[in-house]
Structure 1
Amino acid sequence: MTDLRDRLVRAATRTDRPSSDFDLNPSVVLPENRKLRAAGVLIGVIEGGGGARVLLTKRSSALKHHPGQIAFPGGKVDPVDADVVAAAIRETHEETGVPPETIEVIGTLAPHETVTGFQVTPVLALLTPPSAYRREAGEVDEVFEVPLAHLLDARNYSVQSRLWRGQSRSYFTVPWGPYYIWGATARILRGLADRMADDTT
Structure 2
Amino acid sequence: MQSLIKLLKDGLNKPLPGIEAQYEMAPLTRAKIDVKTLEPNTYKKSAVVLLLHNNNGSCYIPLIKRHKYDGKHSNQVGLPGGKFDEGDGNLVNTALRELHEEVGIKKQDVEILGGLTPLYIPVSNFYVEPFVAFYKHDSINFNIDEREVKQLIQLNTSLLKLDSLIESEGIVSGDGYKLKTPYFNVEGEIIWGATAMILNEFKKLIT
- Residues 86-123 of structure 1: CA deviation (Å, up to 9, x unaligned): 10110010000111111110000001111311111110
Checking the alignment, whether the CA contact within 8 Å between 1:102 and 1:127 is kept in structure 2 is yes
Gaps of 5+ in 2: none
TM-score of the superposition, structure 2-length normalised?
0.81
8 Å CA contact retained: 2:51, 2:133: yes
Q: What is the CA–CA distance in structure 2 between the aligned matches of 1:6 and 1:143, rounded to whole Å? A: 27
**C-alpha RMSD over aligned residues:** 3.0
The one of the two structures with greater contact order (alpha-carbon pairs below 8 A, sep at least 6) is 2
The reply on whether 1:118 has 2:126 as its aligned counterpart is yes
Q: Distance in 1 between matches of 2:5 and 2:24?
A: 28
- Aligned pair partner of 2:88 in 81, 84, 88: 81
Partner of 2:51: 44
Which position in structure 1 is the counterpart of 2:67? 60
Structure 1 distance, partners of 2:32, 2:169, is 20
State the secondary structure of the residue aligned to 2:185: coil
Specify the alignment match of 1:149 in structure 2: 158
Once residues 140 and 55 of structure 2 are traced to their aligned partners in structure 1, the CA distance between those partners, rounded to angstroms, is: 13
1:102 aligns with 2:109: yes
Aligned-pair identity in percent equals 23
Residue pair 1:172, 1:187 contacting (<8 A) in 2 also: no
Q: Provide the C-alpha distance between the structure 1 equivalents of 2:147 and 2:169, rounded to a whole number of angstroms.
A: 30
1:2 correspondence with 2:2: yes
* Distance of 2:181 and 2:15 partners within structure 1: 23
Q: Distance in 2 between matches of 1:131 and 1:46?
A: 7
In structure 1, list runs of 5 or more residues that go unmatched. none
Distance 2:140 2:125 in 1: 36
C-alpha distance in structure 2 between counterparts of 1:82 and 1:125, whole Å: 19
**Contact 2:59–2:157 (CA under 8 A) maintained in structure 1:** yes
Mark the CA change 1:111 to 1:37 in structure 2 (over 3 Å): closer, same or farther. Answer: same
CA–CA separation in structure 1 for the residues paired with 2:30 and 2:58? 40
Normalized per residue, the structure richer in helix is 2
Residue type at the aligned position of 1:46: H
115-124 or 25-34: bigger deviation: 25-34
CA contact (8 A) 2:102 2:144 kept: yes
